[in-house]
Structure 1
Amino acid sequence: MEDDCDIIIIGAGIAGTACALRCARAGLSVLLLERAEIPGSKNLSGGRLYTHALAELLPQFHLTAPLERRITHESLSLLTPDGATTFSSLQPGGESWSVLRARFDPWLVAEAEEEGVECIPGATVDALYEENGRVCGVICGDDILRARYVVLAEGANSVLAERHGLVTRPAGEAMALGIKEVLSLEPSAIEERFHLENNEGAALLFSGRICDDLPGGAFLYTNQQTLSLGIVCPLSSLTQSRVPASELLTRFKAHPAVRPLIKNTESLEYGAHLVPEGGLHSMPVQYAGNGWLLVGDALRSCVNTGISVRGMDMALTGAQAAAQTLISACQHREPQNLFALYHHNVERSLLWDVLQRYQHVPALLQRPG
């Protein structure tokens, strides 16, 4: 049977969409399947995007991207039970912006569609379609969609990849739970409170007594009309603790160093999501195989630097390596050793450099005391 397209990508998050865009630009036919009716609607809003990787993909992104505020102020606060020691900088390293995924993701999908990607929202993939041990499509209800290669960009909770035995479930030490809230605040109040000029933004990072005696960190990012606030705590630690994750966020918001920053705000959005922060040593041993490969959180390529978790820019960088792999593979009529090709491209990317640089941080943060 003939293939319906060259590439099927499951998941229209940042990594999946970026991979789709790059492949389509090279002339491949790409089908992007997203279970949400609107891309980004299932992503909890708010985050910090380092734009180096986005600039490689879309050099003119500044002209149309729905960015919130450019991060010009950055601080790290070491919290004690009743105080904080804060280190501030007006020269954050590398250009970065606060973004809201509910706005950013649809824009990125639209950019991909302009390159020829066909995106189908509201599409549920029930299973991968295999022939003779090779993944060669997906099953959606009664339909079988065939492709030369399938990309799994289904996020940290990689149900399909685990169900088909492509990866094993990650250890609890390699995963964290992010609890995030979006708070409304007038732009003028944001700028006055955080000492910002028009369109400037602040990134506040917190360490120390965040999750009681558990390891963890917290953040606060300024958007145009909202604040994105959250804590991140290792999943293994939370399972041993008797304190609910929601209570940890409530306690953090009540801390004397945090409470004045969020006064007179209204909660607009609240939720939790898994963060694969284990870095290099938590990546699947095999992240590509016979007809398939992983990108984004499914690749578990988030990087915990010790004071923040780099997710979106690493997803974009990894997506470029994945796209380069698929483009090369599709240029050959005979099936290629996809893992060897993908691993080679990942090792040559900035993603690998960052993974190597911070590879020991997760283990250090897990140490007691």
Structure 2
Amino acid sequence: MEDAFDAIVVGAGLAGCIAAYVLAKEGAEVLVIERGNYAGSKNMTGGRLYGHSLEKVIPGFAKEAPIERKITKEKVTFMTDDTGVTLDYHNGRDQSTIEESYTLLRGEFDQWLMEKAEEMGAQFISGIRVDEVIKKDGKVVGVMADGDELFANAVILAEGVNPVLGEKLGMVQPKVEADVMAVGAKELIELPENVIRDRFNVEGDEGCAWLFAGSPANGLMGGGFLYTNKTTISLGVVCGLHDIEHSSKTVPQMLEDFKNHALIKPLIEGGKLLEYSGHVVPEAGIHMVPKLVDDGVLITGDAAGFCLNIGYTVRGMDLAIASGEAAALAVLKAREANDFSAAGLNTYQDLLNDSFIMKDLNLYKGLPDFMQNPRIFNQYPKMVADIMQSMFTVDGSASQPLRKTIMKHCKEVGYMNLIKDGFKGVAAI
């Protein structure tokens, strides 16, 4: 097509920037359109990046990227309104770069990634919304942005968790069901660097990733999270969207109560609130992956539902990066063959199927249904806390065998429930 880009990428998040980087590096003419004022402007304050997929694209990226801290401490806490039982893991072993993970602030990190793509020759336009996808003879041939028609051999939709254009094309179901989404609220809290090191027992650039199940989401599906940055804490809660109507608290109230929990309050004491944000998160795994390829168009990142919540860890950024790379490679192969039809772009689906993305999504395909079980977020945290309280309370009465103490609290949940949930949980992971 005359005066057409090889590819137009809609969205300058991780998936979009990586797609642009890979395309431009190979000499493709690529344009990225971002409706925010800059790359990362619409992203929440921060989170955790598993570095393997970006390390593959930009080896040694962590030496120059604006990462915050390298994760060396993992914590998982079962929390009730007034107790907390924590599993704490410290990794002091040497790791290869593909094994390392980092905390980061997306506003800074995405801008850096955009600049890397620009260095390769990609063009970026920010502050512009793509209103429509242009089709000709049933094939996507470009986009309509701010009244201008822009043409491309292929369009990569990396528009995030609300894929409006994907819905208009009929590739994404137009009505998102509440049971496949979660809603989150997060705060960025400033603390002196030495205070963060002391409170979380970390040294240098070490950091902590901490997940909480139970009371943070008001006993509903979801939980709390905390990530340490250089001079800030990313703290928030997530709750299944379908559970909101059953909740006695709003999500902002959940976050406020979480901040005031006896376990959390001392960790953020004296902190200064810098940012507050909300976000919707895809939670259904493989069950919400849409049609990914059509004539002249591909869908990637959060828009494709590429997110994994497996309880003890939450992943989305590494999937977005790998899927953005796969989309770019598919476009490059289609350019070689001069075939941008669905068949010509289907290398994208093949690359995804061969990657960890689809393999992991399929591995954990039963987990979203299992996570609907309210006992996981209500009765089990209480059971664990009650067992620990009985073990560590000495009041002068005669002690009982530990076996009986544990069985007493298990009975409150129900032995059959424990057995049934145990089998389902093992099958789901």
Above 0.5 in TM-score?
A: yes
1:137 pairs with 2:142: yes
Q: Which residue of 2 aligns with 1:29?
A: 29
- Pairing partner for 2:333 from 325, 328, 334: 328
TM-score of the superposed pair, with normalisation by structure 1: 0.96
Task: Give ranges in structure 1 of 5+ residues lacking alignment.
Answer: none
Contact 1:126 1:140 survives alignment (8 Å): yes
2:215 aligned partner, one-letter code: R
1:52 pairs with 2:58: no
Listed one character per residue, the Cα deviations across residues 105-137 of structure 1 (whole Å, up to 9, x for unaligned) are 000000001111111111221111111111110
Shift of 1:27: 1.9
1:171 pairs with 2:180: no
Q: Which residue of 1 aligns with 2:15?
A: 15
Shift of 1:307: 2.5
Give the whole-Å Cα distance in 2 for the aligned partners of 1:358 and 1:74. Answer: 21
Give the whole-Å Cα distance in 2 for the aligned partners of 1:142 and 1:216. Answer: 41
TM-score of the superposed pair, with normalisation by structure 2: 0.83
Task: Give ranges in structure 2 of 5+ residues lacking alignment.
Answer: 376-429
2:159 aligned partner, one-letter code: E
Give the whole-Å Cα distance in 1 for the aligned partners of 2:5 and 2:320. Answer: 24
Listed one character per residue, the Cα deviations across residues 189-213 of structure 1 (whole Å, up to 9, x for unaligned) are 0001111111111111111222113
Give the whole-Å Cα distance in 1 for the aligned partners of 2:49 and 2:338. Answer: 38
Contact 1:217 1:308 survives alignment (8 Å): no
List structure 1 segments (4+ residues) > 3 angstroms apart after TM superposition: none
5 Å-filtered alignment, 1:206-285, equals: 206-284=212-290
Give the whole-Å Cα distance in 2 for the aligned partners of 1:338 and 1:271. Answer: 40
Give the whole-Å Cα distance in 2 for the aligned partners of 1:354 and 1:91. Answer: 24
- Pairing partner for 1:314 from 312, 319, 326: 319
Q: Which residue of 1 aligns with 2:199?
A: 193
Q: Which residue of 1 aligns with 2:386?
A: none
1:65 aligned partner, one-letter code: A
Contact 1:287 1:339 survives alignment (8 Å): no
Identity %: 40
Between 5-14 and 349-358, the greater mean CA deviation after superposition: 349-358
Which of the pair has more CA radius of gyration?
A: 2
Q: Which residue of 2 aligns with 1:40?
A: 40
CA RMSD of aligned residues (A): 1.5
2:183 aligned partner, one-letter code: L
Shift of 1:290: 1.1
Aligned residue pairs, count: 368
CA pair 296-338 structure 1, distance change in 2 beyond 3 A: farther
Shift of 1:166: 2.4
CA pair 159-189 structure 1, distance change in 2 beyond 3 A: same
1:105 aligned partner, one-letter code: D
Shift of 1:339: 6.1
Q: Which residue of 2 aligns with 1:2?
A: 2
The alignment partner of 2:212 has SS state of strand
Contact 1:128 1:137 survives alignment (8 Å): yes
Q: Which residue of 2 aligns with 1:342?
A: 348
Contact 2:219 2:374 survives alignment (8 Å): no
Contact 2:220 2:239 survives alignment (8 Å): yes
Between 217-226 and 355-364, the greater mean CA deviation after superposition: 355-364
Give the whole-Å Cα distance in 2 for the aligned partners of 1:296 and 1:121. Answer: 19
The alignment partner of 1:314 has SS state of helix
CA pair 185-162 structure 1, distance change in 2 beyond 3 A: same
